[in-house]
Amino acid sequence: MPREPKVLVVGTTADYIDWIRSSCPGRAVFLTDPKVRRQAQEPCPAAAEEILCDLSDYDRSRQVIQGHLDQNGFRLEGVACYDCESMELAAHLGQSYDLPYPSIQAVNNCRNKFLSKTLWQANDLHTPKARIIRSETEAAHFFQEFGGPCVLKPLSGSGSELIYRCDSIPECEHNYREIRIGLTRRGDNRLFRSLSAPEPDILAEEFIAGNEYSCDFVIDKGRVEIIRITRKIISSEGPFGTALGYLLPGILPAETDEPELCQTLFRSAAALGLERAICMLDFMIDHGWIVLLEMAPRPGGDCLPFLLRHSFHLDVLKLLLDFSRQRPLRLNRISELRPSVGLRLHARQSGILKKVDSHHLQSDARLREIHLTRQPGHLIKMPPDDYDSWLLGHIIFEPDGDSEVESQCLALLDKLIVEIE
């Protein structure tokens, strides 16, 4: 008998695979990088549930998938992707199997940060002024032209990896070299592989001050529906732009209302060629203007799915799976919502993780959930060498009204005892 059709989940992490297998049993088949499976702490899926393949080889991936489908007697009904580095492969596979997924061009428009900004500017949307630079001299010229701080970053990437704020010409020159060195060292990383050439394209953009926000939204059938808006809590330590946490709900300034944001979301997605997708957008509010930073046709990751599950009782991983299957979506928007924070737990030095003691943290009345992702013996490398291994997990807490959220984040972090040798 033919089996139930599956959604192909392309290139996600072992913890997401475990989550989806629990929340949507039997609905997905996972295309996974063998390195992810080798390093996983989570249980291995059954052979029929997972396809291990080098995800940088698109033709081989297609052949292996088809062989797996033939062998196990089921067909695909959708394609889903939760990770930036795998979205282009997902677009190729969606096209190959005639399944709904953003086009290859739309994905590349999102992944290329300069192209995104060029398309937004062409559609009269606000975004930082930016330019591709290929030398220290060009970095210095950009700084001089705008007469103030600027930001240097890879043309593609995610989070705060290899992103630098520059407050002087010497800093521009130094940080340009640092990004080049960093890209060379990441030659085998699919997130940066196309940028590891001897003369990589690096993006310089004007620095925008103000609060940074992040949102997930659905665009479909010519309309937009917001899933969540969070305000980013930016760390005062570590790499520039590092998110210490996310505050939900993220209250927009009075001069920026939700209908205006919905209109901007629709126009910004359409400018990049996105017609049907669940998207994540990072943006800032500058003198009343919504300033677009980055967009991706996937929901926000990190601790955000946990925060949504706690606050909205919404499983955003399942939501994307249902969306990929073209099923009706049920969004939980709670009007009387207690503020909640997803607080990321970072190591403060390199070394071997010896112990994480959360006893004092767990006794705090504000704490709702704690998720520790590293075990003793874990090797920690600090940025810019590694932007993953220093993250030890996250907590979900509900702040009280006695002090600013940022102060409460720092106070809670002081209750976590981390020993590194």
Mean pLDDT rounded to a whole number for the chain: 93
Mean pLDDT, residues 67-84 taken together: 95
CA 130, distance to chain mean position in Å, is 21
C-alpha to C-alpha distance for 272 and 280, rounded to whole angstroms: 13
Q: Which residue, of 186, 206, 226, is where some domain finishes? A: 206
User: Looking at residue 146, which CATH number applies to its domain?
Assistant: 3.30.1490.20
Query: Does residue 30 share a domain with residue 87?
Result: yes
149 found inside a domain? yes
Tally of structural domains, the chain? 2
50 found inside a domain? yes
User: Looking at residue 62, which CATH number applies to its domain?
Assistant: 3.40.50.20
CA atoms within 13 A on the CB side of 337: 22
> Checking DSSP bridges between strand 277-286 and strand 212-220, what pairing results, if any?
antiparallel
pLDDT in tens, 240-288: 989 999 999 998 988 888 889 999 999 999 999 999 999 999 999 988 8
Query: Does residue 88 share a domain with residue 18?
Result: yes
C-alpha to C-alpha distance for 271 and 277, rounded to whole angstroms: 14
Q: Name the percent of the chain lying above pLDDT 90.
A: 84
In the prediction, which pLDDT does 335 show? 64
Query: Does residue 19 share a domain with residue 65?
Result: yes
Query: Does residue 148 share a domain with residue 84?
Result: no
Query: Does residue 133 share a domain with residue 88?
Result: no
Q: Which residues of 341-370 are buried (b: 16+ CB within 10 A; e: fewer)?
A: bbbbbbbeeeeebeebebeebeeeebbbeb
In the prediction, which pLDDT does 236 show? 86
Mean pLDDT, residues 115-129 taken together: 97
C-alpha to C-alpha distance for 170 and 129, rounded to whole angstroms: 21
Question: Per-residue pLDDT for 71 more than 70?
Answer: yes
C-alpha to C-alpha distance for 92 and 105, rounded to whole angstroms: 10
Q: What are phi and psi of 172, to 5 degrees?
A: -60, -50
Give, to the nearest 10 degrees, the angle between helix 104-111 and helix 113-122: 100
Q: Which residue, of 206, 231, 255, is where some domain finishes? A: 206
3-class secondary-structure state, position 301:
coil
In the prediction, which pLDDT does 144 show? 94
3-class secondary-structure state, position 368:
strand
- Which residue type is seen at 16? Y
pLDDT in tens, 382-421: 999 999 999 999 999 999 987 899 999 999 999 999 999 9
Q: What are phi and psi of 236, to 5 degrees?
A: -85, -5
Q: Which residue range(s) make up the domain with 180?
A: 129-206
C-alpha to C-alpha distance for 148 and 131, rounded to whole angstroms: 15
Query: Does residue 140 share a domain with residue 77?
Result: no
239 found inside a domain? no
Question: Per-residue pLDDT for 227 more than 80?
Answer: yes
Contact between 179 and 171 (Cβ < 8 Å): no
Q: Which residue, of 206, 230, 248, is where some domain finishes? A: 206
In the prediction, which pLDDT does 191 show? 81
Helix (H) or strand (E) holding 295: strand 289-296
Contact between 303 and 231 (Cβ < 8 Å): no
Query: Does residue 88 share a domain with residue 31?
Result: yes
In the prediction, which pLDDT does 198 show? 55
244 found inside a domain? no
Instruction: Report DSSP letters for 159-201, one per residue.
Output: TTTT-EEESSHHHHHHHHHHHHHHHHHTTT-TTTGGG-SSS--
Radius of gyration of the chain (CA): 21
Confidence of residue 190 (pLDDT cuts 50, 70, 90): confident
Find the range with the poorest average confidence among 129-138, 156-165, 380-389.
Answer: 156-165
C-alpha to C-alpha distance for 242 and 388, rounded to whole angstroms: 12
Q: Name the percent of the chain lying above pLDDT 70.
A: 96
Find the range with the poorest average confidence among 2-6, 221-225, 369-373, 394-398.
Answer: 2-6
